[in-house]
C-alpha cells in the first residue's frame, strides 16, 4: 500500500524560502497571491489493512518526518 | 570533571570542543554515535557541524541515533548537557529542549563574530559571567532562527530559562542586533531544570587570545563551580 505525505509550515510560521520563490515568480511576470513551500514524501508499506497502515504512517510522521512545532501534515492513500 | 563529546557523521566542531575541554582540565572522551553505552560523564557535549548533511531537518536524524537514548537518560538523571549550534538543533529534535531552529531570516549562512548578552548568570553554565555581560562570540549557521510557541516563550521568561540574547556592542537587544531573526533575539536557552543548555554561538572558538578572544572560557570554568 502506498501513501503520500504532504508537510507544510503552519500558518503563523515565517516561510522565507517561499517568499523568495514568490518574488521570483512575480519578477518573471507571473502573478500570484501567496505561496508556501513544503515537503512531499511517498511511502510504501507492506500492509493490506488500510487502518493499520495509516496508523503506521502517522507514527512515522510524528516521530521523525514532521516537526510538529512548526509543521502540519496530510496523509493520502495513493 | 569528566566530559563526553558525541560525534556524528558530519560533526565538524567535535575536535574544537575537545581542545577547549582539555584546556579547561576536563577529562574528555569522544563517543561515536553508534555506541550504546556512555562513559561516566559529568558533562555531555553535542558539538556543532552538519550531522547527516542536515538531511530532513537540521539535527533530525542525529536526534534518533543509538547513543541519544543514553544521552536522554543521563539528562533525566541530571547530567549536564551542552548543545552547541548543530548540537542545539539536535537537542530540540530529541525533545530535551523545546522550540526549534528555523532557517535564518535572510536565507544566508551567517559566519561572523556577534555580541551576545548573558541573561541568566545563575546557572551551572554561566556563574562565572556577570549579569548582562556582553560577550563577543562566533556564530556559523544556516538554521539558527529560534522559534517556539507563546506558552514556551512565557515559560522561558518566567523561569529565567533564556541563557543568551543577541545584542550590539553596548548591550542593546533590538532588531538591528538580531543576526538571524530569532524570536526576541534568543541565542541560547535552558531546560526547566537548567542542566541542559542549547546555544547557537560557539564558545569553544573563543578560548584563545591568539586566534580570537577568551569570552568562551568562563562558560567552561563555570562548570567547575
* pLDDT digit string, tens, across residues B182-218: 999 999 999 999 999 999 999 999 999 999 999 999 9
Q: How far is CA B150 from CA A14, B97, B157, in A?
A: 15, 15, 11
What CATH number did the domain enclosing A53 receive?
Answer: 3.30.1280.10
Q: Using beta carbons and an 8 Å cutoff, which residues of B are at the interface with A?
A: 56-57, 60, 64, 93, 98-100, 102-107, 147-149, 181
How many domains, in total, are found in chain B? 1
What CATH number did the domain enclosing B216 receive?
Answer: 3.40.50.880
pLDDT of B67 above 90: yes
Lowest mean pLDDT among A16-30, B30-44, B79-93, B126-140: A16-30
Distance from CA of B197 to the nearest CA of A (A): 19
Tell me, what's the pLDDT at A17?
87
Q: Binning pLDDT at 50, 70 and 90, where does residue A12 land?
A: confident
Q: Binning pLDDT at 50, 70 and 90, where does residue A16 land?
A: confident
Tell me, what's the pLDDT at B202?
98
Tell me, what's the pLDDT at B127?
97
Percent of residues, chain B, with pLDDT higher than 70: 100
- The parent domain of residue B146 ranges over 2-222
CB spacing of A67 vs B57 below 8 angstroms: yes
Tell me, what's the pLDDT at B68?
96
Tell me, what's the pLDDT at A76?
97
CB spacing of B102 vs A64 below 8 angstroms: no
Q: Annotated catalytic, B79? A: no
- The parent domain of residue A34 ranges over 2-77
Q: Annotated catalytic, B85? A: yes
ipTM of the complex: 0.78
pLDDT, one tens digit per residue, over B147-184 is 999 999 999 999 999 999 999 999 999 999 999 999 99
Q: Annotated catalytic, B202? A: yes
Long-range contacts of range B40-43, CB-CB < 8 Å, 24 or more positions apart?
B40/B2, B41/B2, B41/B3, B41/B4, B41/B74, B41/B79, B42/B1, B42/B2, B42/B3, B42/B79, B42/B80, B42/B223, B43/B1, B43/B2, B43/B3, B43/B4, B43/B79, B43/B80, B43/B81, B43/B82, B43/B223
Across chain B, mean pLDDT equals 97
Tell me, what's the pLDDT at B146?
97
- The minimal CB distance from B64 to the residues A64, A69, A70 is found for A64
How many domains, in total, are found in chain A? 1
pTM of this structure: 0.92
- The minimal CB distance from A70 to the residues B64, B100, B106 is found for B100
Amino acid at each position: 500500500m502506498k501513501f503520500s505525505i504532504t508537510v507544510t509550515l503552519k500558518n503563523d510560521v515565517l516561510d522565507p524560502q517561499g517568499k523568495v520563490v514568490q518574488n521570483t515568480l512575480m519578477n518573471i511576470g507571473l502573478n500570484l497571491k501567496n505561496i508556501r513551500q513544503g515537503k512531499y514524501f511517498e511511502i510504501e508499506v507492506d500492509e493490506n489493512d488500510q487502518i493499520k497502515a495509516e496508523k503506521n504512517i502517522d507514527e512515522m510522521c510524528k516521530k521523525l518526518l514532521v516537526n510538529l512545532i512548526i509543521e502540519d501534515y496530510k496523509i493520502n492513500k495513493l | 570533571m569528566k566530559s563526553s563529546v558525541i560525534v556524528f557523521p558530519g560533526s565538524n566542531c567535535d575536535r574544537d570542543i575537545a581542545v577547549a575541554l582539555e584546556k579547561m582540565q576536563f577529562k574528555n572522551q569522544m563517543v561515536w554515535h553508534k555506541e550504546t553505552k556512555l562513559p561516566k560523564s559529568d558533562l555531555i557535549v553535542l558539538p556543532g557541524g552538519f550531522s547527516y548533511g542536515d538531511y530532513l531537518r537540521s539535527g533530525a536524524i542525529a536526534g534518533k541515533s543509538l547513543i541519544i537514548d543514553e544521552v536522554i537518560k543521563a539528562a533525566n538523571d541530571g547530567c549536564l548537557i551542552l548543545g552547541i549550534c548543530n548540537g542545539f538543533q539536535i537537542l530540540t529534535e530529541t525533545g530535551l529542549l523545546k522550540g526549534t531552529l528555523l532557517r535564518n531570516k535572510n536565507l544566508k549562512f551567517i559566519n561572523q563574530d556577534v555580541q551576545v548578552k548573558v541573561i541568566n548568570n545563575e546557572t551551572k553554565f554561566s556563574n562565572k559571567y556577570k549579569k548582562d555581560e556582553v560577550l563577543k562570540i562566533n556564530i556559523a549557521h544556516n538554521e539558527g532562527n529560534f522559534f517556539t510557541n507563546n506558552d514556551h516563550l512565557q515559560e522561558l521568561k518566567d523561569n529565567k530559562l533564556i541563557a543568551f540574547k543577541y545584542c550590539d556592542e553596548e548591550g542593546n537587544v533590538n532588531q538591528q542586533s538580531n543576526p538571524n531573526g530569532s524570536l526576541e533575539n534568543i541565542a541560547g536557552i535552558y531546560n526547566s531544570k537548567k542542566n541542559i543548555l542549547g546555544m547557537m554561538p560557539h564558545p569553544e572558538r573563543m578560548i584563545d587570545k591568539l586566534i580570537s578572544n577568551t569570552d568562551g572560557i568562563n562558560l567552561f570554568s563555570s562548570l567547575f563551580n
